[in-house]
Amino acid sequence: MHKTEKRYVRNMSGYGPTPPTANWPGGAKIAVQFVINYEEGGENCILHGDAASEAFLSEIVGAAQWPGQRHWNMESIYEYGARAGFWRLHRLFTGMGIPATVYGVASALARSPEQVAAMQDADWEIASHGLKWIEYKDASPEAEKADMLEAIRLHEEVTGAKPLGWYTGRCSANTVALASEIGIFDYISDIYDDDLPYWIEAGERDQLLIPYTLDCNDMRFATAQGFNSGDQYFAYLKDTFDCLYEEGEAGTPKMMNIGLHCRLVGRPGRIMALKRFMDYAQSKGDVWFARRIDIARHWHKTHPPVRFERPSQMDEARFVALYGGIFEHSPWIAERAFALELGPAHDTAIGLHSALCRAFRSASHGEKLSVLQAHPDLAGKLAAAKQLTADSTVEQASAGLDILSDDERDQFMAMNKIYMEKHGFPFIIAVRDHDKASILEAFIQRIENDSDTEFATACKQVERIAFYRVSDSLAGGAR
């Protein structure tokens, strides 16, 4: 039975210490991607059928919703974004020849035909930012999906094409799954957990996620502990760029997301800081300025999804069948590991090894002793009779223990006998860490250990052997 209550859905592992090489076009050391959020006319407002006014991301410090009333000042601030801020950004981006992606709230786009025409004339990507700029954390999955479908319908009606990217922003725990289920998006961006795109398995669909940003985002002009001047904004963007550019020079190019809002950075006192950053980024070589759809298409082409059988998603019978022999003749370790809180982090060699070792380490002394005693002697009678497990056969052969001279075999036999009589279990060593000479040297040294020390040493070696076996079992799948 698959113990779903013991499965942890969050992925704390990601690409780990060795992210893939992005291979950005032209060998770019960094991909820089600007998003212009177009929300003006899609915010909470009783004119839009909402119960109260907007309270989020404006110049009004500590704003609160006004139930049943229009908030004239709030509406006016949002209108600034559409009337003035958008056009200031449009002039800046088109003048510098830098592409952009628009996160367009469908109802806001419908109320701004001139701005939509300008976006399309500039060849900006218009991704969907949902039907309305409202909160979905308490929405039922059915209601949220209905709004998604209506957003797509309205987006196509207004722009002439369905959106290829999705970002709700004020999302729920269901948003990514629901957007994936709809099945039309080249990417979804309701995540902030990486500097590179990555794939998820959404049922039968492989869905690309392109992380977005809340730190390199002008929203911090309107939040606590945010930017209170253009200089702070420029410095933060520059430092982010410099860090990622340096990593690109070192061989691991990343992506820099920059989130913009017409009513925020579109103000004269802020946009010059943005321009300074754009000038700075353009002055560097090997920078790819891209729309999000360009990044998605690149990732689809150069880093297609790879499916493999994930340990955390197996049922118990399959898990034990595959990993019950990792610890020699001790399937109970795999059974106990399966009962742990496994998740995506355990679909890697290090993660799966950790789960198996936890089961081994928490076992009683007698159970651990049984694992040690299940191991064969090195170059012993079982090896001579070709009765080792497949793993043990390969391991002993890797150190040349299958081609010993008569004198070497006699030496191993004698030491095996002395070691077993003294400690009560066979001499165990991860032979892949050694050659024949160093194995013999370790054997001679460890025979002299007291049994408690040797028990602990043998347990460590069992875990080391397990790591190699786990790595072999996941080869070609998880890193």
Q: Describe the chain by its helix, strand, coil percentages, rounded to 5.
A: 50, 10, 40
Give the C-alpha separation, 108 to 116, whole Å.
Answer: 10
Give the C-alpha separation, 318 to 154, whole Å.
Answer: 46
Give the C-alpha separation, 362 to 336, whole Å.
Answer: 10
Give the C-alpha separation, 74 to 203, whole Å.
Answer: 42
Return the exposure string of 347-376: e unless at least 16 CB atoms fall within 10 Å of the residue's CB, then b: bbbbbbbbbbbebbeebeeeebbebbeebb
Contact between residue 106 and residue 88 where contact means Cβ atoms under 8 Å apart: no
Residues annotated as part of the active site: 375
Nearest to 247 by CA among 239, 257, 236: 239
Q: 20: exposed, middle or buried (C-beta count within 10 Å: 0-12, 13-18, 19+)? A: middle
Contact between residue 319 and residue 360 where contact means Cβ atoms under 8 Å apart: no
Nearest to 196 by CA among 18, 77, 362: 18
Give the C-alpha separation, 270 to 279, whole Å.
Answer: 15
Q: Which helix (H) or strand (E) holds 296?
A: helix 292-302
Joined tokens for residue 389: 């497990």
Nearest to 150 by CA among 132, 173, 165: 132
Three-state secondary-structure class, residue 77 = helix
Helices (H), 160-267: 175-182, 230-249
What radius of gyration do the chain's Cα atoms show? 30
